Structure 1
Amino acid sequence: MLERPMDQTSVLSDSPLANGDRNVNSLTSSAKAALHTVSNPLAYTDSFVRRHIGPNAADVAKMLALLGFSDLEGLISATVPQSIRLKAPLKLEAEKGEYELLQELKEIAQENQVFRSFIGMGYHNCITPPVIQRNILENPGWYTQYTPYQPEIAQGRLEALLNFQTMVTDLTGLEIANASLLDEGTAAAEAMSMSYGLCKTDAKTFWVSQVCHPQTIAVVQTRATALGLEVIIGDHETCLFDQPIFGALLQYPATDGTIFDYHEFCDRAHTAKALVIVAADLLSLTLLKPPGEFGADIAIGNTQRFGVPLGYGGPHAAYFATKEAFKRQLPGRLVGVSKDGQGQPALRLALQTREQHIRRDKATSNICTAQVLLAIMASMYAVYHGSEGLRNIGMRVHHLTILLAEGLKRLGYTLGAIAYFDTLRVNVGSDRLQNIIARAHSHHINLRQLDDQTLGVSLDETVSTDDLLALFQLFAGGQGVHFTPEDLFHSSSLHAVIPSALQRTTPYLTHPVFNSYQSETELLRYMYRLQTKDLSLATAMIPLGSCTMKLNATSEMLPVTWAEFGQIHPFAPMDQTRGYQILFDQLEHWLAEITGFAGVSLQPNAGSQGEYAGLLVIRQYHESRGEGHRNVCLIPTSAHGTNPASAVMAGMKVVPVACDSHGNIDITDLKAKAEQHQAILSALMVTYPSTHGVFEEGIQEICAIAHANGAQVYMDGANLNAQVGICRPGDFGADVCHLNLHKTFCIPHGGGGPGMGPIGVAKHLVPFLPNHPIVQVGGKQGIGAVSAAPWGSPSILPISWVYIAAMGAEGLTKATQVAILSANYIAKRLEEHYSVLYKGKQGFVAHECILDLRQFKKTADIDVDDIAKRLIDYGFHPPTVSWPVAGTIMVEPTESESKTELDRFCDAMIAIREEIRAIEDNTVDRQNNLLKNAPHTAIALTEEWNHPYSRQQAVYPTQWTRDHKFWAAVGRIDQAYGDRNLVCTCPPMESYQSSE
């Protein structure tokens, strides 16, 4: 590991400037004057802490004064139980300036070696069009958005995702696709679970082809074990379905590149009442018969090669497509077409009753985040290239592979398959294999070793004829090559290798959106047109409770697109990824220190996957002690909906625990349930601070009750932003905790993904951390892979690395203090106008507060949605609506928002309260009013105005909205209409015309 530079304070400790006034007399008068005007001339002028935390010192003082405190410590002492407070500061380095820190990270990044990788296995180098990289991936107008639960202010993102769904359905030949999943491995596991749920027989066996990618097989096996399902790995050509099987997974093309004809297999599977899942390479489907045409019921895969960098394994957007008949079992999110109050076409998330927050332990999946930002990149790649462009890319890759095959044959090698797309299996013999691998390494080339006699070579869109020549020379063993790729191209011996029965004949991407933006000018304007329809952190505060929408600093984001991080294959040899290993080691150490745990796994690539992985670790721990029968998980009724969904996926039975009138866990009920199920109790899942935004005084007792009855404590880390530097879950009783890096540690939400959900565990659980079949990670008794790549989504980990290193121990603690201050400031300012539902023992909230709006339904016929939509007219994203309590909003300002922005939000909420009061006083109609008709659009202003209030009141309620107006792209959306008339692909362009 690289040694980190010493603190400047220690380096300069012997200099006259290091000791303050003691050496002032030795300075000149001008130097003395400088010291009196600058408190510390050695301090960084590009301090990250000052720029990350919104309120300045004067603002903090004013906010504290409103709450009755003179300093932050006084507020924290009144808010956080003293029994769990840290007794000493975090053992992290001091803050650093942004410039120095980026230089340090650049040195670490340069420890990585970017080889030319021909490994394949579902990951390929690709070309990210610069117009997409700069204007999507590197654009805060796209990467700082929230999940599109408020569709009126998310129309741009939703349209891009609808394009993604259309792209996937067109290429796979199936009828409906979701808006992305986490990776190909988890998509396959989701498909297995869905197939099992749809099965009409008693079968509990899932069949997997032996030529699937090994990482996919591993993730499926992990999921199956927890669910009590058997996985059989075999040859599709000899599978007889002579035992009950509910589903089968195929790879198309196979992991070694072979293209198989699966028609007959699909027929046999369907006769046996099994569903067929095909993991298909999306680019190959530009040339190959789509899975939907040869019998697949589900198609899954990765869209990474559609313009998304390798990133050492992620983040990438997986896809999932199936038949219309299975739409209600489809995991993840689904974008559909509906209409707004003016009859205009409008997009929104469809069939939301499938969401885990509603279905809880009855949910079909625990997936809570998707990979929206990456799905948008992939969809824009398809929009930019169009059907003809994609086919040309596919044809070029395929033709280069044919040339490679012909050249290798001339060099005397035999190939493993007659039909292939972009990957060759090359038999080199055991005596030459290691020599070729060593020679490749010396030329900065990575090949895949399939066994002790064969190598795999996969090509991609970045390959040139020079690359082919380098490969020929490599396989020639220094003997010289007497032909060139150009010679081979003109050879009459070349012929098509895709059988006619498997060649694609059906059109795809015929919608005008894929045929209108092929010039950079047109694509740029299209992307910006969509961006203006979305409210992001670049527009205003997004005060969503539990979701921690904080600053995603530019200095954190810059390293994401450095080639040293972005252009590395996930299965590159470890000696090429030393920089990543240094980053992983440091980040794991920092996260362990922050949480008080002994070990950390970075593999889970979403919060939901962290929950799942943590529970599997607990399950494996019990099994290692001969207590595998422990399968009951206690979960408070206030918990995130993914908690019970994850517990069910981990093979546990959920037992709910009641909460009291203050929103705290009912300790009496917890104790009774724990004792009742003592013999089979596995885990307690708890969120801290509570889901209701309060530091529960009894958290240590709660953990002790679980331990006394044989359970492990799983802590949901969604609210860790209220703990960093103040208390640590590992200290007050938690055994496992997942960490939402896309919340507390500044990875952007990206409109609904990417996320990262690593887990920290106590010492006794370290041996059970997730492992991986390709790269050695995790514990000796590890639970198996939970993500396709060994470290989940590594290319976004530099974001959290920069945040922690730049903030330092003191800065991280101050961020937590200010987050708690800001939430209490909002609660205090609004308490005269709205009821704050839950408070702690001394009357304070944690880092978020719940405002109770339920009374207004009785007094003014105004519900929570009316207030949320009216906030849009004031230029804000609504807070979290009707969760965790129906009819309320949960507000979380974070530490990044300035006092000015907090006041602006409070002023908007107070103004809306007065608008409600006018309804209560019967001076305003109870149906035709500012709230019921919100949000108001520009189009609505131009039509006949039949409202008893002015246009100005509707759209310019404040001075700031006059200075800068954010317009909702559509009016209030009719959700029910969209579900009754489900359309989840791009509709005809004429449907976007105004309704008469």
Structure 2
Amino acid sequence: MSKDVKVKDFHQAKWDEPIIFELSTPGQRGILLPEADNEIKNKVGDIEDIVPKNIKRSKKPALPELAQPQVLRHFLRLSQETLGQELNIDIGLGTCTMKYSPKINEQFVRNPKFAELHPLQDEETTQGALEIMYKMEEFLKAISGMDAFTFQPGGGAQAVFSNASILKAYHTDRGEGEQRNEIITTILSHPVNAASPHTKGFKVITLMPDEKTGYPSLESLKAVVSERTAGMFLTNPEDTGIFNPHVKEMVDIVHEAGGLCIADIADANGLFGISRAKEVGYDMCHYNLHKAFSSPHGSMGPCCGAQGVKDFLTKYLPVPVVKYDGKKYSLDYDRPESIGKIRKFYGVIATVVRAYSWIMAIGPDGLKEVSELSILNNNYLMKRLLSEVKGISAPWAEGQFRMEQVRYSWEKLKEDTGVGTDDVDRRCSDYGVQGYFQSHHPWIIPEPFTPEPNETYSKMEIDEYANIFKKISEEAYENPELVKTAPHNTPISLISKEEVTDPKELIVTWRIYKKKKASK
């Protein structure tokens, strides 16, 4: 069947679409705001008296002026020049878990009771939202085995920063804050596992993998653990899709030295119902609710890095935390040993609601099935790519199954044809597939390519995806220039590879654009 699934004949719309400010015509209006009722006016008073003078605008903001049809046409035309999960097979963005998000969950978060929720509302008016947050914490506690959670971090990197902050507070309270100034991570853990602790002043020690197994040896860990070890930040499985079976022994080694262990479970799609942070022995962990938990990734937002800790660390959690006394839900700010705030308010409620709704719909058995299907899909795709696509390989742990994704290499293709991963990436879009995630830098695996065929993709879609790369590989061997000069069927052709590093050359706002245009 796989060879019968056709690669679609794709050609994307190309509009010579001005930016919205250039479409603006003075006097055009898309909406007329209603006047406030007299009852509201009488109770609130004159708005001029409410807004402090020092924050009042001296003049109206320079906003584009368009009628509703013009706005609609503008953004619909732009949408035709976009690829994404709901338009095409979005397997390529490995580690991001670009799964289908049920549309009923979008209806929930667009309900005015959520969409117009203000974080400074009185708790009496937010009991439903607080209840969902509290119950979502209970779900995550069951999934991970941790004892408490917070939704305050704005994403994975911020959750790792919050974990590092708690790590520092813990050792400081024990009188070892100055002594324990080193953290250990691995080169193929998510880069934030090194970067975020570094911003807290920790020295980072990075373990390299064994080429045969794909993960570091216990001996390499023992060689760097000392009385200076504050903790270990680990992603397992790493983005190679290889699960480290010795992780429990690694955790024990760090614990014996007096350090704590923190799990980066940003991508949990291959772990639901299979592995929990508690049984491994982790002291802290985090999940990204905007990935495996079905809330859309959102291009850096709206995100939620749900941070979990064991009982002895709960006192350090960011404030506020959600409490329930059996009758009422509340936000607890009275936590003197807290690390404070990681960001404003208490997290992105829309992301929490989507994740909560998803778990409620599929239940614990459904969660485990999510992981089983993801692992099955991933290994099926790996079987097809490695057996049928010339020029691709999966370095390390060759011949072994992987978890929810694989970091492949186009190194052989580059050696044979001169076509590298950047070229293949761009050529993907000529077949209606969004470009793929390659790797964090530096490229430990040469010419990398990291797809993640999660549970929402059918066998037919995976077959079509595999056939696209089979065809691109054939093109590279027969006519490499065709791939090197891609894309050909998209709104934007091959652009200059020269990076803009001079801030004076950047144009990031309409105001800067007008200034530069006027100066020429």
Provide TM-score, normalisation by structure 2. 0.85
Residues matched between the structures, number:
486
Q: Which residue of 2 aligns with 1:634?
A: 184
Tell whether 2:251 aligns with 1:703: yes
1:153 touches 1:535 (CA, 8 Å); kept in 2?
A: no
CA distance in 1, matches of 2:267, 2:408: 18
Q: Secondary structure at the match of 1:530?
A: helix
CA distance in 2, matches of 1:744, 1:582: 22
Note the alpha carbon deviations across 1:925-966, whole angstroms, 9 max, x for none.
x5xx220111103xxxxxxxxxxxxxxxxxxxxxxxxxxxxx
Q: Which structure is larger by alpha-carbon Rg, 1 or 2? A: 1
2:436 to 869, 879, 902: 879
Q: Which residue of 2 aligns with 1:660?
A: 210
1:766 touches 1:779 (CA, 8 Å); kept in 2?
A: no
CA distance in 2, matches of 1:797, 1:545: 22
AA of the residue aligned to 2:342: V
AA of the residue aligned to 2:485: N
2:267 touches 2:287 (CA, 8 Å); kept in 1?
A: no
2:410 touches 2:447 (CA, 8 Å); kept in 1?
A: yes
Q: 1:387 to 1:546 in 2, by over 3 A?
A: farther
Q: Secondary structure at the match of 1:849?
A: coil
Q: 1:778 to 1:821 in 2, by over 3 A?
A: farther
CA distance in 2, matches of 1:665, 1:636: 8
Give 5+ residue unaligned stretches, structure 1. Answer: 1-58, 63-151, 164-379, 397-460, 473-484, 919-923, 938-967
1:826 to 369, 375, 381: 381
Q: State the 1:718 CA deviation.
A: 2.1
Q: Which residue of 1 aligns with 2:365?
A: 810
Q: Which residue of 2 aligns with 1:672?
A: 223
CA distance in 2, matches of 1:750, 1:576: 28
Alignment of 1:601-616 (within 5 A): 601-616=150-165
Tell whether 2:41 aligns with 1:468: yes
2:86 touches 2:100 (CA, 8 Å); kept in 1?
A: no
CA distance in 2, matches of 1:637, 1:154: 41
CA distance in 2, matches of 1:841, 1:855: 15
Q: Secondary structure at the match of 1:806?
A: helix
CA distance in 1, matches of 2:14, 2:154: 26
CA distance in 2, matches of 1:787, 1:503: 27
Q: State the 1:469 CA deviation.
A: 1.0
Tell whether 2:310 aligns with 1:786: no
Q: State the 1:855 CA deviation.
A: 2.0
Q: Which residue of 1 aligns with 2:98?
A: 549
Q: Which residue of 2 aligns with 1:353?
A: none
2:284 touches 2:308 (CA, 8 Å); kept in 1?
A: yes
Q: Which residue of 1 aligns with 2:109?
A: 560
Q: State the 1:620 CA deviation.
A: 1.4
Q: 1:982 to 1:568 in 2, by over 3 A?
A: closer
Identity %: 25
CA distance in 2, matches of 1:387, 1:583: 45
Q: 1:697 to 1:838 in 2, by over 3 A?
A: farther
CA distance in 1, matches of 2:176, 2:368: 40
Q: State the 1:385 CA deviation.
A: 9.4
Q: State the 1:568 CA deviation.
A: 2.3
Alignment of 1:679-690 (within 5 A): 679-690=227-238
Tell whether 2:82 aligns with 1:504: no
Q: Secondary structure at the match of 2:373?
A: helix
Q: Secondary structure at the match of 2:269?
A: helix
AA of the residue aligned to 1:670: L
Q: State the 1:888 CA deviation.
A: 1.0
Q: Which residue of 1 aligns with 2:508?
A: 984
2:332 to 742, 754, 776: 776
Note the alpha carbon deviations across 1:294-317, whole angstroms, 9 max, x for none.
xxxxxxxxxxxxxxxxxxxxxxxx
CA distance in 1, matches of 2:247, 2:393: 22
Q: State the 1:529 CA deviation.
A: 1.0
Q: 1:619 to 1:988 in 2, by over 3 A?
A: closer
Tell whether 2:352 aligns with 1:797: yes
Q: Which residue of 1 aligns with 2:327?
A: none
CA distance in 2, matches of 1:384, 1:745: 39
Q: 1:699 to 1:810 in 2, by over 3 A?
A: same
Q: Which residue of 2 aligns with 1:744?
A: 292
AA of the residue aligned to 1:632: E
2:254 touches 2:261 (CA, 8 Å); kept in 1?
A: yes
CA distance in 1, matches of 2:250, 2:26: 58
Tell whether 2:404 aligns with 1:847: yes
Q: 1:835 to 1:775 in 2, by over 3 A?
A: same
CA distance in 2, matches of 1:503, 1:688: 51
Q: State the 1:775 CA deviation.
A: 4.7
Note the alpha carbon deviations across 1:456-487, whole angstroms, 9 max, x for none.
xxxxx985543121246xxxxxxxxxxxx7xx
Q: Secondary structure at the match of 2:374?
A: helix
2:126 to 554, 577, 599: 577
Alignment of 1:368-379 (within 5 A): none
Provide TM-score, normalisation by structure 1. 0.45
1:540 touches 1:877 (CA, 8 Å); kept in 2?
A: yes
Note the alpha carbon deviations across 1:257-280, whole angstroms, 9 max, x for none.
xxxxxxxxxxxxxxxxxxxxxxxx
Q: Which residue of 1 aligns with 2:326?
A: none
CA distance in 2, matches of 1:598, 1:155: 52
1:871 touches 1:908 (CA, 8 Å); kept in 2?
A: yes
Q: State the 1:387 CA deviation.
A: 8.8
1:632 touches 1:654 (CA, 8 Å); kept in 2?
A: yes
CA distance in 2, matches of 1:732, 1:154: 50
Q: 1:550 to 1:155 in 2, by over 3 A?
A: farther
Q: State the 1:596 CA deviation.
A: 1.2
Alignment of 1:236-247 (within 5 A): none
CA distance in 2, matches of 1:673, 1:819: 35
Q: Secondary structure at the match of 2:96?
A: coil
Q: 1:386 to 1:708 in 2, by over 3 A?
A: farther
Q: State the 1:988 CA deviation.
A: 6.2
CA distance in 2, matches of 1:768, 1:666: 33
Q: State the 1:859 CA deviation.
A: 1.4
Q: 1:463 to 1:595 in 2, by over 3 A?
A: farther
Q: State the 1:796 CA deviation.
A: 2.6
AA of the residue aligned to 2:147: A
CA distance in 2, matches of 1:775, 1:383: 46
Q: 1:709 to 1:846 in 2, by over 3 A?
A: same
Q: State the 1:667 CA deviation.
A: 2.4
Alignment of 1:50-69 (within 5 A): none
Q: State the 1:666 CA deviation.
A: 3.2
Note the alpha carbon deviations across 1:319-377, whole angstroms, 9 max, x for none.
xxxxxxxxxxxxxxxxxxxxxxxxxxxxxxxxxxxxxxxxxxxxxxxxxxxxxxxxxxx
1:768 touches 1:782 (CA, 8 Å); kept in 2?
A: yes
1:697 touches 1:841 (CA, 8 Å); kept in 2?
A: no
1:694 touches 1:838 (CA, 8 Å); kept in 2?
A: no
CA distance in 1, matches of 2:245, 2:215: 9
AA of the residue aligned to 1:656: T
Q: Secondary structure at the match of 2:223?
A: helix
2:318 touches 2:341 (CA, 8 Å); kept in 1?
A: yes
The alignment's C-alpha RMSD in Å is: 3.5
Q: 1:778 to 1:810 in 2, by over 3 A?
A: farther
CA distance in 1, matches of 2:293, 2:344: 23
Q: 1:715 to 1:532 in 2, by over 3 A?
A: same
Q: State the 1:503 CA deviation.
A: 6.5
Tell whether 2:450 aligns with 1:893: no
Q: State the 1:642 CA deviation.
A: 2.0
Give 5+ residue unaligned stretches, structure 2. Answer: 3-10, 322-329
CA distance in 1, matches of 2:271, 2:463: 25
2:214 touches 2:397 (CA, 8 Å); kept in 1?
A: no
Tell whether 2:205 aligns with 1:651: no
Q: 1:711 to 1:818 in 2, by over 3 A?
A: same
Q: State the 1:829 CA deviation.
A: 0.5
CA distance in 2, matches of 1:600, 1:778: 17
1:607 touches 1:739 (CA, 8 Å); kept in 2?
A: yes
